A and B are shown apart, each in its own frame.
Chain A
């Protein structure tokens, strides 16, 4: 059962990474607009520098 010494911390850290990632995404406002997000992936000209300087 010695393998638990590795497995449990790994499981907790992985879970913790997921939690932190979620809290970060929440903090940066990624859940503010649930409707818009699905459309934004279709918006393919998100490279304004190239477009504007031409």
Chain B
């Protein structure tokens, strides 16, 4: 499909000894056979050093010697093998190597190794304490444990220390603060106990605690990494490139990050406008539905402003890129976006809220224990030991796992139902929702326009028109091609820019295009537009036959009505906020049975409506795709965006849903409520555990053995409870799928 040559230099990065490296998102890798085929196929090309497919992230990494082969040959070879590949813009790829993940795994490995060895020594000490261990052997074992534990805690504790430090320096409390205090005190106390030849040391508790927490951390990171790489692939597959016209007149496709203000960009017919700018030459029609929500095409000519994300009609446009400079739609959206996202960042995650309650309570309890024993006449040192053992036994191992474990399982389930999470706490926030605001165009409806009426495929004129439409990439033509299923293009087609197509068949003139171009009567046009509000008209004129008018419009998503009914049955208040015209929104609202709707809304009107609802204490979910929805998406309590949305909206939304159905919206809400319940249950499990453990610790009866057993048991209980979500959801999804929608309801994400 690529019309222009790509500037491959912009996509490759230098690798070792003269080779270059490129990452590509490859569409359609599903199994082992594809992997082998791609890797072997590429290695047959000269100069390829390394070709490696990553099935997890659906990416291909190629290293090759630059003077022996070229990037375009690699892409051509992939195409020959049957895979569409799109290179990543190196600037947009944040973390190629996933450094955080590897660091976490290293910490996990070190703490696992240390935990096993210390446990080996500790079990010997515990059994020895019960029988006849000599004090010398015990001290030796404790010193050995200290030797392993101290470097381990220093190394594997880094992620927690850093996070706790960040939180404290920002004046907040998070779960890592009590973790760091607990682990630090446990190690310090153990060293003191060892020096003083005591019976007990808590080295294994400290290290095992780190191990369990790192497991949770790594799982969490892995799941989010997977969604993130998937989202990046989608961006690359959408080919976020622009065709830059160089001063010498040559046209090269370059990644968006390389486009600067003042550059001239070519947008061919049927392509998305990649940048904001002013048309410098060419006339065409622009589908602005992603930006303003209006479904009708808007004509543009030189001097007019166009926005990134809009769809160009038939004519080729040259666009002068402009740095955003006040008073434009995009600027306004950006400004609203900024203020709106500030409001949202006030949300405090459940885990941190729990930590804010938990840390003072536990530290207070430890302090009281110390004072209590002092007053009871104990020496200060044994009293301190008991106080610290209270901290160790309450160290939030289960609490640290309680939320991540559920989030990992829930985001995995969401991934399967086609929802990718942008922000980690979206699941928690989604469970609060009582009101849902929908955008219309592209959200309740599909983004691509379709013919409104069913057409007769046998009709010879329509079939001819379909064949004629193949010559254009105008969105309306493409809708006609899809409806007629035309395959063979007609010869000698002339394109009248901004008007339509013309050719001659059997000596008769065939025209396809705007109603005026085809000579339709104004009354007929008006009548048709009144019958189908919000539609664009495509006219066909063949010889002396009367002009035919076809209405083209974005159709509702096939399951929209079902999903709306389900949402209403669950008690959600639904509302449509659209930038489209009154009649078309009214019709859509009626078809879906949504009573509250507003049309012709500007971005600031949308956010005003949102704020009014939020001022009433409502928790609002915003579902939208357009540039005009972006501020509302950022300002809502939580927001969802379809994968066809403009880049800015996807970035502003908390989660993105895939596919042509609306069902993921309902699934996401249902799952998040279940996840929220599981999080609360987990917090209760941790609380109950503490209620049992703390009195024993306060009384001074806690041994390291008890601490180890209690910690493992509570961690396992919490993890098992989170996994229940997965199991329960599968049953529920199966039942629902067969009952309501048939097997087609759950297709995404294998």
Mark A residues whose CB is within 8 Å of B: 1, 4, 8, 11-12, 15-16, 18-19, 22-23, 26, 31-36, 39-40, 42-43, 45, 48, 52
**Complex contact B56–A43 (CB within 8 A):** no
Known: A12-B117, A15-B113. A36 touches B35 (CB 8 A): yes
Known: A22-B109, A23-B109, A48-B40. A35 touches B117 (CB 8 A): no
**Complex contact B106–A26 (CB within 8 A):** yes
Rank and list the top 9 A-B pairs by shortest CB-CB distance, nearest first. Answer: A39-B32, A36-B55, A19-B113, A35-B56, A35-B55, A33-B54, A22-B109, A43-B36, A33-B56
**Complex contact B36–A45 (CB within 8 A):** yes
State in angstroms the CA–CA spacing of A48 and B43 once bound together. 10
State in angstroms the CA–CA spacing of A33 and B52 once bound together. 10
Query: Which of A12, A31, A39 contacts B55 (CB under 8 A)?
Result: A39
Count, A-B residue pairs, CB within 8 A = 57
State in angstroms the CA–CA spacing of A34 and B223 once bound together. 12
Residues of A within 8 A of B69 (CB): none
Q: Smallest distance from the beta carbon of A52 to chain B beta carbons, Å?
A: 8
Q: Smallest distance from the beta carbon of A2 to chain B beta carbons, Å?
A: 11
Which B residues from 38 to 63 make CB contacts under 8 A with A? 40, 43-44, 53-57
Mark B residues whose CB is within 8 Å of A: 31-32, 35-36, 40, 43-44, 53-57, 98, 101-102, 105-106, 109-110, 113, 116-117, 120, 134, 137, 144, 148
Q: Smallest distance from the beta carbon of B157 to chain A beta carbons, Å?
A: 17
State in angstroms the CA–CA spacing of A27 and B55 once bound together. 19
State in angstroms the CA–CA spacing of A34 and B226 once bound together. 11
**Complex contact A15–B117 (CB within 8 A):** yes
**Complex contact B106–A36 (CB within 8 A):** no
List 25 interface pairs A-B (beta carbons < 8 Å), by A numbering. Answer: A1-B137, A4-B137, A12-B117, A15-B113, A15-B116, A15-B117, A16-B113, A18-B113, A19-B113, A22-B109, A26-B106, A31-B101, A31-B105, A32-B54, A33-B53, A33-B54, A33-B55, A35-B55, A36-B55, A36-B56, A40-B32, A42-B32, A43-B35, A45-B36, A48-B43
Q: Tell me the interface secondary structure of chain A in the complex.
A: helix
State in angstroms the CA–CA spacing of A52 and B40 once bound together. 10
Q: Tell me the interface secondary structure of chain B in the complex.
A: helix
Residues of B within 8 A of A16 (CB): 113
Residues of B within 8 A of A33 (CB): 53-57
Q: Smallest distance from the beta carbon of A14 to chain B beta carbons, Å?
A: 9
Closest B residue by C-beta to A46: B36
**Complex contact A36–B53 (CB within 8 A):** yes
Residues of A within 8 A of B116 (CB): 15
Residues of B within 8 A of A36 (CB): 32, 35, 53-56
Closest A residue by C-beta to B30: A39
Residues of A within 8 A of B31 (CB): 39
Q: Smallest distance from the beta carbon of A37 to chain B beta carbons, Å?
A: 8
Closest B residue by C-beta to A33: B54
Closest B residue by C-beta to A27: B102
Known: A1-B137, A8-B144, A26-B102. A19 touches B35 (CB 8 A): no
State in angstroms the CA–CA spacing of A1 and B148 once bound together. 21
Residues of A within 8 A of B54 (CB): 32-33, 36
- Beyond known contacts A33-B53, A43-B32: 19 more, CB 8 A cutoff: A1-B134, A1-B137, A12-B148, A15-B117, A16-B113, A19-B109, A19-B110, A23-B106, A26-B102, A31-B102, A32-B54, A32-B98, A34-B56, A36-B53, A36-B56, A39-B35, A39-B55, A40-B35, A43-B35
State in angstroms the CA–CA spacing of A15 and B207 once bound together. 15
Q: Smallest distance from the beta carbon of A23 to chain B beta carbons, Å?
A: 6
Closest B residue by C-beta to A42: B32
Closest A residue by C-beta to B136: A1
State in angstroms the CA–CA spacing of A43 and B101 once bound together. 27
State in angstroms the CA–CA spacing of A40 and B474 once bound together. 44
**Complex contact B35–A26 (CB within 8 A):** no
Point out which of A12, A18, A36 has the most chain B C-beta atoms below 10 A from its C-beta: A36
Q: Smallest distance from the beta carbon of B400 to chain A beta carbons, Å?
A: 23
Residues of B within 8 A of A31 (CB): 101-102, 105
